[in-house]
Chains A and B, each alone.
Chain A
């Protein structure tokens, strides 16, 4: 193969030939064993080189490096901060124990009448009766007023 043909072979391998030129060169390769051998050798060399290409990294400047760290710190700080609550909800949290205590007191206390007394009271006696006995049983739910009568 002359120098021109070798260059054409390289171009063929790199896919730089037009489709018509590549077709014609393929026909030529089919008839030239030396060219085929060279093509195979070049292909292998190319595959080895591409597998071991070094990874290229963009060089980082010092400012870019510290800016990255600052950004990650800021994102961590915003994640640790609790979600903002409205003032109303904040007040409700303080009112909760007060409300619970008030509810319990009202639940346990008896419901008094408007007169302020829960049990019966005698407001008038006959002249014949000097005293009366009144008592209330919480457990039995009864109020008793002892009446002295002339008979039933």
Chain B
């Protein structure tokens, strides 16, 4: 009985050390990259049916379902998509619409995002890099001033290099 317990403990120890090494390697890999690939999507959230506009695209179903579970709107349509590769400490400005821009800057452990509406500074957000590296999203959201019931999202995600 005691021998079996000892064997189980040794097995758990080996598993624990294995996970520790995996975790360390993930952390190291996240911290070690000097460049970050980002995908930025401007998404329109509405309960209306999709209008006949070739510029509006359906979102990836996984992201769409995720937004549906969190927010109240039925439809989420991609208005614009931008991709960029961010070297360390380099600022890139992305125009998402005629009135809205964002600046992104990769700080290794964090991503700095500044939003501008009609050229005016709105907000500066710091997002830790690690969640993005494991597939999470940062979403800057706001009310649509032109359509009261609708909203817009800027969905920022990391892409594999």
Contacts and interface: CB of A to CB of B under 8 A. Distances in A.
Whether chains A and B associate is yes
Interface of A: 93, 95-97, 99-104, 106-107, 111-115, 117-126, 128-129, 132, 137, 140-152
B13 A113 contact: no
17 contacts: A100-B16, A103-B13, A103-B18, A112-B130, A113-B129, A114-B109, A121-B125, A126-B121, A140-B66, A141-B66, A143-B131, A143-B139, A146-B141, A147-B123, A147-B140, A149-B142, A149-B145
B12 interface: yes
A90 to B, nearest CB: 12
A1 to B, nearest CB: 82
A100 B125 CA distance: 38
Nearest to B131: A118
B117 to A, nearest CB: 4
A100 B26 contact: no
A111 B26 contact: yes
Contacts of A102: 16, 20
B66 A143 contact: no
Nearest to B66: A140
A137 B66 CA distance: 10
A108 to B, nearest CB: 9
A120 B26 contact: no
A100 B13 contact: yes
A119 B23 contact: no
